[in-house]
Structure 1
Amino acid sequence: MRLEIDFLDEVSELSEQDLYEIEQLLNFAAEMENVQTGSELSVTFVSNERIQEINREYRDKDRPTDVISFAMEEMGEGELEIVGEEIPRVLGDIIISVPKAREQADEYDHPFMRELGFLAVHGFLHLLGYDHMNEQDEKKMFGRQKEILEGYGLGR
């Protein structure tokens, strides 16, 4: 495995198989993105209420959302970069609303795992520096998401 992933299911709704699939998918994405072996991240599955709290606190948006990522490699003002060969790469945190994923799976008429995988890859690409703030970046990010999901077998 390329990634060290710390999973936390706060809603106790995901099976071991669900977590295994997300782990395999994220490792597949890491392979495609040539992410350093041993890189670390966490994936937390939460309720709509919890993701709304996080969205309000960190993004000033008082509503539930489907996925939020916190990239650890983004340097804040006044922060010092720590580098070294023996230091593992810590990518950050992905937080996914399970109820929102279920709702969107129904809305888009595809399996829950396809939606959960989409959100996990979306959050993962954000951790790697992808964004969709303008049309060019959006095209690049969503194109890469599609390649990863289809390559893994979770295409539409």
Structure 2
Amino acid sequence: MSLAINWNNEQEEYEITDALITLLDSILQKAGAAEGIDKGEVDLTFVDNERIHELNREYRGIDRPTDVLSFAMNEAGEDEPEIIYASEEAEEYGEVPNTLGDIIISVTRAKEQAEEYGHSLERELGFLFVHGFLHLLGYDHQDAESEAEMMSKQEQVLAQVGLTR
């Protein structure tokens, strides 16, 4: 098993092409390799500003649209039991997929930011995707040091696939 993207399109502003998914898959493989992760699944959903606004309000208590949301599956909450798969079950049902989490990208906001920053929509979608992926792995940008680390990792991956500014 390698890293895989399961994607869904819930917006109509921009056609999600096979070429875009191939690009995002390449980003996922490079980001995963840089972090020493070679197995797992990422669920990616493309939405519009209205839908991401709803999700941001519901899950983060922030009443405005945002560009990307990440929901890590491997974070154990305080009251959540740890799930342990017995080796017999794993053998019987095959390898249990390692779902890393969900990334939700507002294509509306990505288009606005691409124009604002003067680069392509593909570059902005790639940036938001790798940004979301790093969040799934536990990276954050709450202070200048962690933001610089995250930004550096993002730019290194994007440079490897030719998505420079």
Aligning the two structures, in what range does the TM-score lie when normalised by the shorter sequence?
A: over 0.9
State how far apart, in whole Å, the 1-side matches of 2:156 and 2:20 are.
Answer: 21
What's the secondary structure of 1:79's corresponding residue?
A: coil
What's the secondary structure of 1:8's corresponding residue?
A: strand
Deviation at 1:152, TM superposition (A): 2.1
Unaligned segments of structure 2, at least 5 residues? 88-94
Amino acid at match of 1:43: L
1:103-142 equivalent positions in 2, closer than 5 A: 103-142=112-151
Residue 22 (1) aligns with residue 24 (2): yes
Do the aligned partners of 2:73 and 2:99 also contact (CA within 8 Å) in 1? yes
Farther off after superposition, 81-90 or 49-58:
81-90
State how far apart, in whole Å, the 1-side matches of 2:42 and 2:66 are.
Answer: 20
User: RMSD of the alignment, in Å?
Assistant: 1.5
Percent of residue pairs identical: 51
TM-score, normalisation: structure 1 = 0.92
User: After TM superposition, what 4+ stretches of structure 1 lie above 6 angstroms from structure 2?
Assistant: none
The aligned residue for residue 54 of structure 1 is: 55
Which whole-Å deviations, capped at 9, do the CAs of 1:101-149 have from their partners, x for residues lacking one? 0110000000110000000000000001110011221111111111111
What's the secondary structure of 1:104's corresponding residue?
A: helix
What's the secondary structure of 2:70's corresponding residue?
A: strand
Farther off after superposition, 120-129 or 25-34:
25-34
Do the aligned partners of 2:29 and 2:38 also contact (CA within 8 Å) in 1? no
Unaligned segments of structure 1, at least 5 residues? none
Amino acid at match of 1:3: L
Amino acid at match of 1:26: L
What's the secondary structure of 1:148's corresponding residue?
A: helix
Residue 9 (1) aligns with residue 18 (2): no
State how far apart, in whole Å, the 1-side matches of 2:4 and 2:25 are.
Answer: 9
Residue 99 (1) aligns with residue 100 (2): no
Do the aligned partners of 1:2 and 1:30 also contact (CA within 8 Å) in 2? no
Do the aligned partners of 2:42 and 2:101 also contact (CA within 8 Å) in 1? yes
Aligned residues: 155
The aligned residue for residue 91 of structure 2 is: none
Deviation at 1:2, TM superposition (A): 2.5
The aligned residue for residue 74 of structure 1 is: 75
CA radius of gyration, larger in = 2
Which whole-Å deviations, capped at 9, do the CAs of 1:6-65 have from their partners, x for residues lacking one? 10011142122112211221122112211132x011000001000000000011111111
State how far apart, in whole Å, the 1-side matches of 2:36 and 2:77 are.
Answer: 25
What's the secondary structure of 1:94's corresponding residue?
A: strand
